Amino acid sequence: MRFNKSGYSNEELLHLYKELITPRLIEEKMLILLRQGKISKWFSGIGQEAVSVGAVQALNQDEYILPMHRNLGVFTGRNVPFSRLFAQFQGKLSGFTKGRDRSFHFGSREHHIVGMISHLGPQMALADGIALANRLKEDKKATLVFTGDGASSEGDFHEALNVAAVWDLPVIFVIENNGYGLSTPSHEQFKFDSFLSKGPAYGIEAVQVDGNNILEVHKTVSHWAKEIRKNPRPVIVEALTFRMRGHEEASGTKYVPKALMEHWAKKDPVENYEQYLLKGKILTQKLIDNYKAEIKAEIDKGLDTAYAESLPEFKEETELSDMFFPYETRAKAPESKTKTEKRFVDAISDGLKQSLERFENLVVMGQDIAEYGGVFKITEGFIDTFGKDRIRNTPLCESAIIGTGLGLSINGYKSVVEMQFADFVTCGFNQIVNNLAKIHYRWGQQADVVVRMPTGAGVGAGPFHSQSNEAWFFHTPGLKIVYPSNPYDAKGLLNAAIEDPNPYMYFEHKALYRSLSQEIPDDYYTLEVGKAQVALEGNDLSIVTYGMGVHWAKSLAEELPHISVEVVDLRTLSPWDKETVSESVKKTNKVLVLHEDTLIGGVGAEIAAWISEHLFQWLDAPVMRLASLDTPVPFTKTLEENFLPQKRLKSKVTELYDY
């Protein structure tokens, strides 16, 4: 292995050596602790240390870096205290996740580190968002994100690279090519010989380095960090390396040919660099002994501190309250009493525009939302006022754009991400349920992202443009869900969602866009999230519903004047207003839960179960439910009309009334 020390002082060379041996010494200790049962799992980076150390030492301390399993050198290179690092590995409270996650699945804003989740690939889009924020702030900073050769098979890899290329984002994508995805060799992952071929395909530069040569990694990353700070654009750095232990310790290495292990053992990054410095008389054995003794003493001290700490005490209130960034949603009244008749679609547009005026750090992203104004024209004309930096057309990549929104949040921005249709959110599902929803609970990072969801049937759009999929997210802790039924609520709840620094799913029914109008305040206002509204007073029975169900219920009430129907509009599904529902049930003693979504596993099932459990003594009839058929949404009008519950509502209400 050849090292080129040109441009480095002896002090710098020794500093890199000390940084290189630190993760190796920690790992050696961790492997002992694993065998002793004092930690539960370990992902070894032995053999790959030069990539992590070279990369982190090439960046400025205030530049974000996004590591993976085998990048211990990133954490030590950012001077994360050993005591906190070891507490994290042991699931202690003083770690970064309060015992809620393990190993390197955490981030630290203080150290400008954003850790991974187990699903390989999503961290790359977060790097895009962090870099986009730097561009918008005109901060001349680089962002560096790690991925592996195996993870490159994920769609997130393509989406993140493509977005970074299209938007000229200053991101260094470091691909640690160690030849295996767990036990699967590279030739079973992809057909190409080198990731250098990926650069031209995306229209970006790509370079390859010997990932076991600390100086080559450091020089290369330093060069590209300086380049993209001056001239923002992404770059691929392929680091050829090898892990000398299993994917994790339980995996072993039996699947690796012995000759290959022997070949890479000769390329050990620590041993080779050490021998180079010794031969050049830059390093001495005495200095090696001193360095190692010093580091081992720090390791032992950190371990003693971590061991002395007991495991976290379970407190239900703490666990639940940590799901969200602390924020109290309060209604803000409009400054004047001026009102204008607005359609549902205009109310949403009005709220979005006023939120953009109110929050200069708000970015709106989605397909065709700029010049075209979106398929429903909600953002029409916005680029004339706010410019293309803040009203951003995106490639067709829902996962990357939701991840980019989270990256923006990490770096101080708000974002609204439009799904062209709610159905298309499936392509970004992982980012929502595993990143947005869990990130605050895991390590205290807010996810200031609103995902707009044009939803619902009744418009003849068929199975892939008509789904009501709110129940998918209702089951996921860490998400707030709003579903307005009228223009007044649509504007006030959208503004409230954007104000709140927590993740929101905002559902807007397409059939209401241009069919429903209402006088609403011209000024900016918000409504209280989590507060239902009695849309129609009644005494005989309650219909608890939301969205289009509110209009079906009110229409039926007019059709059946002999039945006094009370209609409760939930407005917010998570959290939902148990108090208002309870008051209505206690008043009427009969309740029907109605929604457009299919029946099985719908939101109504949870509400009905809660009423049965908590209000049984007030009921004069079984809690009833009505929803759409348990089929996909059909296209033809006659089929769609009978799929929806509206035609069955009269008989169900009559049945409940007569019980």
The residues that are catalytic are: 465
By the 8 A CB rule, do 513 and 343 touch? yes
How many Cα atoms sit within 13 Å of 202 on the Cβ side? 27
148/177 Cα distance (integer angstroms):
6
C-alpha angle 197-201-207 in degrees, rounded to nearest 5: 40
Helices (H), 564-602: 578-588
* Residue type (1 letter), 275: Q
509/83 Cα distance (integer angstroms):
51
Return the SS3 of 421: coil
The burial of 8, by beta-carbon neighbours within 10 Å (0-12 exposed, 13-18 middle, 19 or more buried), is given as middle
Under the phi-then-psi rule, with left for phi > 0, alpha for psi from -120 to 50, and beta for the rest, what region is 94? alpha
Residues making up the chain, counted from first to last: 659
Which contacts of 491-494 are long-range, i.e. CB under 8 A and separated by 24 or more positions?
A: 491/342, 491/347, 491/348, 491/350, 491/351, 491/520, 491/521, 491/525, 492/331, 492/351, 492/525, 492/526, 492/527, 493/526, 493/527, 493/529, 493/571, 493/572, 494/348, 494/351, 494/352, 494/355, 494/450
Per-residue three-class SS string for 350-416: HHHHHHHHHCCCEEEEECCCCCCCCCCCCCCCHHHHHCCCCEEECCCCHHHHHHHHHHHHHCCCEEE
Name the token pair of 486.
């009228």
Query: How far are the Cα atoms of 122, 227, 410, 445 from residue 65, in angstroms, in the given order?
Result: 14, 17, 12, 15
Longest dimension (CA), the chain: 99
How many Cα atoms sit within 13 Å of 6 on the Cβ side? 3
By the 8 A CB rule, do 331 and 526 touch? yes
Residues 6+ apart with CB under 8 A from 19: 53, 57, 73, 76, 77
The burial of 590, by beta-carbon neighbours within 10 Å (0-12 exposed, 13-18 middle, 19 or more buried), is given as buried
Name the token pair of 349.
């547009």
Q: How many helices (H) and strands (E) does the chain have?
A: 24, 21
Query: How far are the Cα atoms of 91, 100, 174, 318 from residue 315, in angstroms, in the given order?
Result: 15, 13, 40, 5
Residues 6+ apart with CB under 8 A from 648: 626
Which of 206, 207, 177, 173 lies closest to 189, judged by CA? Answer: 177
- Reply yes or no: is the peptide bond before residue 477 cis, omega within 30 of 0: no
DSSP code per residue over 144-172: EEEEETTGGGSHHHHHHHHHHHHTT--EE
Return the SS3 of 219: helix
By the 8 A CB rule, do 366 and 420 touch? yes
